[in-house]
Chains A and B, each alone.
Chain A
Amino acid sequence: MATLNSLLRQLFDLLLSPFAGLPSVVPVTAISVVVGVAMLWVYKKTSNQQKIEDVKQQIFASVFEIRLFNDNLPAIFRAQGDIFRRIPRYLSLSFVPLAWMLLPMVLLIAQLQFHYGYQGLQPGQPVLLKATLKPGASLPQDAAGALDVALSAPEGLKVEAGPVWVPALREVSWRLAAERPGSYQLTLKAGSESLTKTAVSSEKNLRRSPIRVGGALLDQLLYPAEDPIPTTSPFAEVKLDYPEAEVNLLGWHTHWLIAFFVLSLVAAFALKGWMGVEL
């Protein structure tokens, strides 16, 4: 999974790089249209279009029956019963294409989330970096009994406070602030173990990783923006509190994912006739 994520990261960084300097609504719209077309194509190729058309016709016939015989109560109930019986059939016919689309969509959304879901660190704006210990792990101590843990930041990124060790949360944290825009790599040392974490301070739509997690499959599926934490590290995850971002869709400020779903559905419905797809 880590290898796949690494390849996907490189691919998406490359594909999305032309859009990096544009308002996020531009790439989100472009991607939504492309995805809408792709979903239509997958739907067409993996579904039984004839059966879908048949069951939809039957449902429409029942709706028509209700309008036609609206003074005949038994006929209305029978037509409604037919509609309710055919809807599961219609949904089941959509299941196969949806199953085909599920995994690519999860991978796609997971990649896009880290390009459009977060803002870069604002210069001068404090942000917390929190490292959580694995269950059973402990922080190394030096000879004097003090915690042997340190965070080093490159020039342009300042560690303002910390480490603050909170045993109840099994968490050690620092407060950082970018001094100027840039893409940085922090190094977290715990005894002899060291771990890196990316930090991006930029207005551009670049990949930002709010959390670096371990190698578990689900973690890697949901948080693919950085390599997994090595198994030898005492830390389970390292979080950087990027502020969340919004897309400005014609004055509607919303999460990119909502804009993506709306726009891809609009694109799919607009183009289904042209592509000859029965939805």
Chain B
Amino acid sequence: MAGAPGKPRGRSRLALAAVLVAALAAALGCHGKKAQQPKVIVIGLDGLDFTLTGQLMAEGKLPNLSKIAQRGFFQALGTAVPPQSPVAWSNFITGMDAGGHGIYDFIHRDAKTMVPYLSTSRVDETTRFFRIGKYQFPLNGGKTRLLRQGTPFWEVLAQHGIDTAVVRMPANFPPSGKADKEISGMGTPDLLGTPGTFQFYTTELFKYYGKEITGGEVHEVVVENDQVQDKIYGPTNPYLAPIEGQKPERLAEPFTVYLDPHRDAVKLVLADQERLLEKGEWSDWLTIDFKLAPTQHLTGIARFYLKQVRPELELYVTPINLDPLAPAQPISHPEDFAAELAERTGRYYTKEMPEDTKALNAGIFTPEEFLHQAELATEPQIVQLQQMLDDYRQGLLFFYFGDTDQVAHMMWRAMDPAHPAYNAAQDGPFAEVIPKLYQKFDRVLGYVLEHAPPDALVLVMSDHGFAPFRRAVNLNSWLRDNGYLATLDPTRRATSGFFDNFNWAKTKAYALGLNGLYINLAGREKDGIVPASEREALMKELSAKLLALTDTKNGERAITKVYPREEVYQDRGHLEIGPDLVVGFARTWRTSNESALAGLAAEVFSDNTAAWSGDHCMDHETVPGVLFGTRKLARPAASLKDLAASILVELGVQEPFPPRAPSAP
């Protein structure tokens, strides 16, 4: 080689030049992107119902969706089993069913400990600390992991040099980091690590005493000298070493409310921030800066709503959201994308599903207040969509709205006079809320059609439809009453949840989540008693009895399908996480809230009297979603599972999706 110096030197120069060009391209952020790319814009409208959408289109109320349907197509889109949003969106993202992506419900359980956990993400526990006095500093853990398995379809697009922006995709917290721009949606917690915990301050003592309020905290306050002094509460301080026998100390930030002695208005002072609020007004976002330890802070944001000043002071505080300008946890990729959006459109809700359904359920909000709050949460999202459309040139843009789901959950009753809690005087005025909401998003879609490049394919999709939720079924109570579930204290027939009062030594099956039924299997469950050899027979027995279950109120069948997981799921890899049986409720029936949290009720059936009056966690065939497209798809999609592959084809990627072919059952 040393004897032929000329050519190798030439080649090495060429190689050096190639390396320099590649380095320059990398430095300039080219990353092998295709210069000319197809264009696909996907608008996800959670819970947009196929039947209602078709009906409103027929009435001429959704002109833009009708326009899309005329130009391209409109069809029902098969949803997931079970038809729950995290499951359904994971089907869409990965092209696999729950057997492959491992998300079966909002809630799963760790069979080894029987501790329930949120299905989509988990924070690694800190096990090692460095202690100085009262403080402890974590040496490991604390990292949030996305539990959804499989390859998101935008990762495949990125590998093929296609631009990708994925905004608020559910079941994508923390963001996968595989799209060019991502911001997390459903599954993103508030600063307390919960799906959203509001705080409500009232001078009306005992009004909420003893009432079960989920998703919020009520603090009783006292007015002294026209002032109220209290604290906003954060999570427990991870830097404070636990003291034996004492509850962990929660972070708290004091605030003062000064009441005008003459008018229904207050001045709110929180740290160095001051706001004036008249009765019925919302503040903008205030920063809440919790001090963890010297030099360590935890920052979130919240809005205040002055519900009332007299005769009782009532002040609502939104769940403390991660501040998009400086999030305490990763909510976007790149990390500064969340801040970039906030700088352009103002701060916004970062927690999943910002519409505060819990506050309405608890009676803190009136329906009007709930609808106003939902609008406040959605408006910045619409502005963000407009900004994203301004920036959009090519590739994939996915943008998600959850308002259509959350408002439908809370306001469906207004369209359903057969609902047990329907009150014509109270609910009648809201009968048009959901149709008007559909019309609002139709206008948003009009904007999209107007501002999308003319050669872009615009798809509008939903993950499932909707149905009335009139009657609740407590599966755990049914299991108990039929001898499959034993209790430690038979006189305690009602429990709030988390397996309280369950006698595992005599329990053969239990329910957890909105559609899941588990066998208490020996060797799998912590205190399992059913031998593996008896599992299948027990499942068959339970299925037959559940399918024959009739509602005590009207004699109608409450359950239309019961699916053994081995039969209903085609994909494999994470089948063992899921429930043994997936229960498909008939339209208008659903699991009771207590049963979903592994609790018991005195009766199996009960009227659903909560504001949460519409639902979709039923038999998946009763609640299909929708799919619209401005042109016919080269590869049609019948269900959510197929849609990502169709989008890949539209974007010029022909390879099979999911990339790893699921193994046969």
A binds B: yes
Tell me, in angstroms, the Cα distance from A241 to B274 when the chains sit together.
10
Docked pose: A164 CA to B278 CA in angstroms = 9
- Residue ID in chain A nearest B281 by CB atoms: A161
Cβ of A177 to closest chain B Cβ, rounded Å: 11
- In the complex, which of the residues A165, A169, A171 contacts B262, with contact meaning CB atoms closer than 8 Å? A165
Contact of A167 among B226, B266, B276 (CB under 8 A): B226
Q: Contact check, B262 vs A173: say whether CB atoms are below 8 A apart.
A: no
Instruction: Please measure, in the bound complex, the distance between the C-alpha atom of A173 and the C-alpha atom of B267, giving whole angstroms.
Output: 8
Chain A residues in 8 Å Cβ range of B226: 166-168
Tell me whether A126 and B262 are in contact (CB under 8 A). no
A128 within 8 A of B: yes
A173–chain B nearest beta-carbon distance, Å:
6
Closest A residue to B227 by beta carbon equals A168
Q: Are A162 and B276 CB-contacts (below 8 A) given A167-B226, A168-B225?
A: yes
B432 CB within 8 Å of chain A = no
Name B261's contact: one of A161, A165, A171 (CB within 8 Å).
A165
Contact residues of B between 265 and 290, Cβ < 8 Å to A: 265-267, 274-278, 281, 284
* Contact across chains for B284 and A164 when beta carbons are under 8 A apart: no
Chain A 163-195 interface 0/1 with B at a Cβ cutoff of 8 Å (1 = within): 111111101011100000000000000000000
Q: What residues of chain A lie closer than 8 Å to B124, measured between beta carbons? A: none
Q: How far is the CA of A167 from the CA of B227 in the complex (A)?
A: 10
Cβ of A171: which chain B residues have Cβ within 8 Å of it? 267
In the complex, what distance in Å separates the CA atom of A128 from the CA atom of B278?
13
Asked if B312 is an interface residue, CB under 8 A from chain A, the answer is: no
Contact B276 A174 (CB under 8 A): yes
Q: Are A161 and B258 in touch, CB under 8 angstroms? A: no
Compute how far the CA of A9 lies from the CA of B628 in the bound complex, rounded to whole angstroms: 64
Interface presence of B263 (CB below 8 A) = yes
- Which range contains the number of A residues in contact with the other chain? 10 to 19
Asked if A168 contacts B274 (CB within 8 A), the reply is no
In the complex, B260 has a CB within 8 A of chain A: yes
- List, in ascending order, chain A residues with CB within 8 A of B263's CB: 163-165
In the complex, chain B residues whose CB is within 8 Å of the CB of A167: 225-226, 261
Q: Which chain B residue shows the least CB distance to A165?
A: B260
Dominant secondary structure of chain A at its interface with chain B: strand
**Best-buried of A169, A175, A241 by chain B (most CB within 10 Å):** A175
Q: Please, which residues of chain A bring their CB within 8 A of the CB of B258?
A: 164, 166, 168-169
Interface centre among B261, B265, B267, B278 (most CB of A within 10 A): B267
Contact A147 B262 (CB under 8 A): yes
- Of B260, B266, B276, the residue contacting A128 (CB under 8 A) is B276
C-alpha spacing A161/B280, complex, angstroms:
12
Q: Is the CB of A164 within 8 A of B281?
A: no
Which A33-62 residues sit within 8 Å CB-CB of chain B? none
A167 CB to nearest B CB, Å: 6
Within 8 A of A (CB), among B232-286: 258, 260-263, 265-267, 274-278, 281, 284
A126→B276 CA distance, assembly (Å)? 10
Q: Which one of A168, A169, A175 lies within 8 Å of B276 (CB-CB)? A: A175
B interface size (C-beta, 8 A): 18
Question: A146 interface residue, CB < 8 Å from B?
Answer: yes
Across the interface, which residues of B come within 8 angstroms of A147, CB to CB?
Answer: 262
Is there contact, CB below 8 Å, between B265 and A162? yes
A163: chain B residues at CB < 8 Å are 260, 263
Complex contacts, B281 vs chain A, CB 8 Å = 161
Given the complex, which residues of B lie within 8 Å of A164, measured CB to CB?
Answer: 258, 260, 263, 265-267, 276
* Complex contact B267–A166 (CB within 8 A): yes
Distance between Cα atoms of A163 and B260 in the complex (Å): 9
Residues of A within 8 A of B262 (CB): 146-147, 165
Of chain A, the residue at the smallest CB distance from B283 is: A126
With both chains docked as a complex, state the minimum distance between the C-beta of A206 and any C-beta of chain B, in angstroms: 25
Would B265 and A161 count as touching, CB distance under 8 A?
A: yes
Interface centre among A126, A128, A164 (most CB of B within 10 A): A164
Nearest A-chain residue to B277, judged by Cβ: A161
Residues of A within 8 A of B278 (CB): 161
**Which residues on the A side are within 8 Å of B274 (C-beta)?**
128, 241
Residues of A within 8 A of B266 (CB): 164
> Distance (Å) between the CB of B157 and the closest chain A CB?
35
The minimal Cβ–Cβ distance linking B297 to chain A, given in whole angstroms, is 20
A-chain residues with CB within 8 Å of residue B261 when the two chains form the complex: 165, 167
Which residues of chain B come closer than 8 Å to A168, judged between CB atoms? 225-227, 258
In the complex, A162→B226 CA distance in Å? 16
The listed residue with most B CB atoms (<10 A of its CB), out of A162, A165, A166, A171, is A166
Find chain B residues with CB under 8 A from A162 CB. 265, 276
A163 CA to B258 CA in the complex, in Å?
13
Instruction: Tell me the bound Cα distance from A165 to B277 in angstroms.
Output: 12
Give the distance to chain B from A171, nearest Cβ to Cβ, in Å.
8
List A contacts of B225 (CB < 8 A). Answer: 167-168
Residues of chain A in range 93-131 having any CB-CB distance to chain B below 8 Å:
126, 128
Residues of A near B260 (CB, < 8 A) are 163-166
Contacts of A241 in B (CB 8 A): 274
Nearest CB on B from A176, distance (A): 10
**Shortest Cβ distance from B49 into chain A, in angstroms?**
36
Output the least CB separation between B225 and chain A (Å).
6
Nearest CB in chain B: distance from A196 CB, A: 21
| A255 to B656 alpha-carbon distance, docked (Å) | 57
In the docked arrangement, what's the CA distance between A165 and B265, Å?
9
A146 vs B278: C-alpha distance when bound (angstroms): 17
Say how far B392's CB is from chain A's closest CB, in angstroms.
Answer: 26
- Least Cβ–Cβ distance between A7 and chain B, in angstroms: 35
- Chain B residues near A174: list those with CB within 8 A: 276
Residue of B nearest to A166 (CB): B258
Chain B residues with CB under 8 Å of A173's CB are: 267, 276
A156 to B225, CA, bound (A): 37
A161 to B261, CA, bound (A): 16
For the complex formed, measure the closest distance between the CB of A169 and the CB atoms of chain B, giving whole angstroms. Answer: 7
Shortest C-beta distance, A195 to chain B (Å), equals 19
Shortest B639–chain A CB gap in Å is 45
Which partner residue on chain A sits nearest B259 by CB separation? A166
Least Cβ distance of A151 to chain B in Å? 12
Measured between alpha carbons, how far is A241 from B277 in the docked complex, in Å?
16
A169 to chain B: closest residue by CB? B258
Chain B residues with CB under 8 Å of chain A are: 225-227, 258, 260-263, 265-267, 274-278, 281, 284
Chain A to chain B: the 4 pairs with minimum beta-carbon distance, closest first: A166-B258, A175-B276, A164-B265, A164-B260
With A162-B276, A163-B263, A169-B258 already in contact, 14 other A-B pairs whose C-beta atoms are closer than 8 Å: A128-B275, A147-B262, A161-B265, A163-B260, A164-B260, A164-B265, A164-B267, A165-B263, A166-B260, A167-B226, A168-B226, A168-B258, A173-B267, A175-B276
What are 10 A-B contacts with C-beta separation under 8 Å? A161-B278, A163-B260, A164-B266, A166-B258, A167-B261, A168-B225, A168-B258, A169-B267, A173-B276, A175-B276
